[in-house]
Chains A and B, each alone.
Chain A
């Protein structure tokens, strides 16, 4: 491995740190706001720093909000969605990358078209269908589509990555008598680990931050996920601060948003480490 000159290294770190400052600006503002009082957030022009950091805001959020309940609901939905996505998107991507069948491109284009139609117009027919199945107020409308290849983005992404793997690898494995299923899970998926983990992270984020679907399909408060819970909480926080519609208690909302983002950051850092290690391991084998 070659060495960078020290000046270049310095430049690199300066660039990274400068960019990081800009990137962290919204997050910093969020955390600072979470430590303010209600009159402070109404004050104008706003002050950067809270006069007296209100760590109690975190306690207020914890006490006034069934965080753990919504958190577990979100976890359950996310895990089921990720599992379904992996189990159906990987084989589908493999099929579109390696199986030679007629009209494959046509089928693929058809599948991709799902990404192109704005979701708003399919809401009502889908809602009617799920209502007819008696699935309203259950998690099934949120989960079942993921188990049927609902994440077309994932299929497309994985196909792009699978196609960068030389076909000779697969031919060799087929020669050894490995079944397609084994080739997929034992060879292709480990070799494309960064892509698979990317799909996991993105799927997690979408499902974790999804507001619209839980909002319309779930009715019982004890079933809702965190983003919907956040909206429930805004009203609750208004009661705590005595505020009302139009003048949201953003300090408490930001407190909750901070708490909501933490698990996502943790997952991302964890996956990133696997990401780097996984590739290093794959590189040795390759």
Chain B
């Protein structure tokens, strides 16, 4: 009983500021936006309650809603596994004792720290139709290039590729996870004659499973909310947000356009809550499944 009271005290003292911040900066704006989702709110006049009309418009009439859902789901399903694999692969490589380790790590982290606008400008040069670097390269092999960013088929794959360059964030988290694996375990396994794959499979993987889980959850949330890259790309390349024929109209971008491009705050709030509920369900499933494969010490 005593320890439990101490635990309670400790919990509220330690987590208190975060919970207070949550209430102040997240909870009430969230509830406010939930209410706005049932209103027509174009900012210029006070919100007006309209029931489910925003949701009905989104599901039945809005030409951009389902297009953006499709783009975002494709992006998430393709990008998250690829990014996680790349991040884990290079984290394992960079965890090896190599010379100038922090130099190599910095190199692989670099694309992730470039300002989005600079990044988008650079990739614009690469993927342009007329005289782009990629097309110049393809021409060397006699292949005629495409207008990559203006193609309804290729614009999304190009953006996925662009985003894969920046796998630095999950990679750094994997590296931190690998650092935390006690070296003695490897030594022991090595003496026992376990091969590299067996060591990875039976020691590394279970021990870093909480980190893999973290990266997976954050990766999925980030992919479903993705916005910056597509936005920076459209601004710097003078392409309207969403690209040709809505090929890169991510849900987050669509939402931003509705909210700040056209100021349908009510509609945007409804969209935000749909995404919120979807992310929550996916994350809950993730947590549920994680009990089977994530291994905690305590």
Our verdict on whether A and B bind, yes or no, reads yes
Contact digits for A89-104, partner B, Cβ 8 Å, 1 yes 0 no = 1011011111111001
- Output the least CB separation between B297 and chain A (Å): 5
B113 to chain A, nearest CB (A): 5
Determine whether the beta carbon of A26 is less than 8 Å from that of B18.
no
**Interface size class, chain B:** 35 or more
Flag if A149 contacts B110 (CB, 8 Å): no
Interface segment, one of A9-17, A54-62, A69-77, A235-243: A9-17
Contact string, A117-130, partner B, CB cutoff 8 A, digits 1/0?
Answer: 11011111110000
CB neighbours (8 Å) of A209 from chain B are 113, 115-116
Task: Report A194-233 CB contacts with B as 1/0, cut-off 8 Å.
Answer: 1101100110010001000000000000000001001000
Is the CB of B71 closer than 8 A to any CB of chain A? no
Q: Which residue of chain A has its CB nearest to the CB of B259?
A: A120
- For residue B10, which residues in chain A have a CB less than 8 angstroms away from its CB? 95, 99, 180
Q: Is A27 an interface residue (CB 8 A)?
A: yes
| CB–CB A19/B108 < 8 A | yes
A261 to B111, CA, bound (A): 10
Bound CA–CA A156/B24 (angstroms): 19
Q: How many residues on A have C-beta within 8 angstroms of the other chain's C-beta atoms?
A: 98
Q: A97–B115 Cα gap in the complex (Å)? A: 34
**CB within 8 Å for A95 and B11 given contacts A116-B279, A198-B176:** yes
* Docked pose: A101 CA to B22 CA in angstroms: 19
Residue B107 lies at the interface, judged by CB distance under 8 Å to chain A: yes
One of A148, A166, A194, A254 near B21 (C-beta < 8 A)? A148
CA distance A120 to B175 in the complex (A): 32
User: Which residue in chain B gives the minimum CB-CB distance to A43?
Assistant: B131
B130 near A163 with CB under 8 A, answer no
A29-B122, A124-B265 given; A261·B114 CB < 8 A: yes
Nearest residue, chain A, Cβ from B110 = A27
Cα of A269 to Cα of B297 in the assembled complex, Å: 31
Chain B residues closer than 8 Å to A100, beta-carbon distance = 4, 7
Q: Quick check: is A172 within 8 A (CB to CB) of the other chain? A: no
Please tell me if B17 contacts chain A, counting CB pairs below 8 Å.
yes
A114 with B22, Cβ < 8 A, contacts A120-B272, A254-B118 known = yes
User: Digit string of A232-271 for contact with B (CB within 8 Å is 1, else 0)?
Assistant: 0000000000000010101001100100110011001100
In the complex with contacts A19-B108, A44-B131, A26-B165 CB distance below 8 A:
yes
- Closest A residue to B11 by beta carbon equals A99
Chain A CB within 8 A of B56 CB: no
A180 x B14 contact (CB < 8 A): yes
A88/B213 in contact, CB under 8 A = no
Q: Which applies to chain B's interface (DSSP): helix, strand, loop or mixed?
A: helix
Q: How far is the CA of A116 from the CA of B13 in the complex (A)?
A: 25
| Chain B residues in 8 Å Cβ range of A163 | 210, 296-298
Q: Are B108 and A194 in contact, with the CB atoms below 8 A?
A: no
Does B293 count as interface, using CB distance less than 8 angstroms? no
Quick check: is A111 within 8 A (CB to CB) of the other chain? yes
Residues of the B chain whose Cβ atoms lie less than 8 Å from the Cβ of A33: 122
Closest beta carbon of chain B to A67's beta carbon, Å: 14
List CB contacts (< 8 Å) of B12-30 with chain A.
13-15, 17-22, 24-26, 28-30
Choose from A110, A149, A166 the contact partner of B17 (Cβ within 8 Å).
Answer: A149
**Contact between B173 and A122, CB atoms less than 8 A apart:** no
Nearest CB of B to A105, in Å: 9
Measured between C-beta atoms, what is the minimum distance from B126 to chain A in Å? 8
Please judge, given known A-B contacts A117-B272, A156-B214, whether A24 and B15 are in contact too, CB under 8 Å.
Answer: no
Q: How far is the CA of A260 from the CA of B114 in the complex (A)?
A: 9
| Contact A107 B260, beta carbon cutoff 8 Å | no
Mark the stretch among B59-67, B178-186, B239-247 that contacts chain A: B178-186
With beta carbons under 8 angstroms apart, the residue of B18, B121, B182, B238 that contacts A89 is B18
Other A-B contacts than A45-B136, A114-B26, A157-B173, 13 sampled, CB-CB below 8 A, are A26-B119, A29-B126, A46-B131, A96-B15, A101-B8, A107-B19, A117-B26, A122-B32, A209-B113, A230-B115, A257-B117, A272-B101, A283-B182
Shortest 9 CB-CB distances between A and B: which pairs?
Answer: A149-B18, A148-B21, A45-B131, A194-B176, A91-B14, A272-B102, A122-B29, A95-B14, A99-B11
A contact set with B: CB distance below 8 Å: 1-2, 12-13, 15-16, 19-20, 23-27, 29-30, 33, 44-46, 88-89, 91-92, 94-101, 104, 107, 110-118, 120-126, 145, 147-150, 152-153, 155-157, 160-161, 163-167, 180, 184, 192, 194-195, 197-198, 201-202, 205, 209, 227, 230, 246, 248, 250, 253-254, 257, 260-261, 264-265, 268-269, 272-273, 275-276, 279, 283, 286
9 contacts between A and B (CB under 8 A): A19-B90, A29-B126, A92-B14, A99-B14, A101-B4, A116-B275, A160-B210, A194-B179, A257-B118
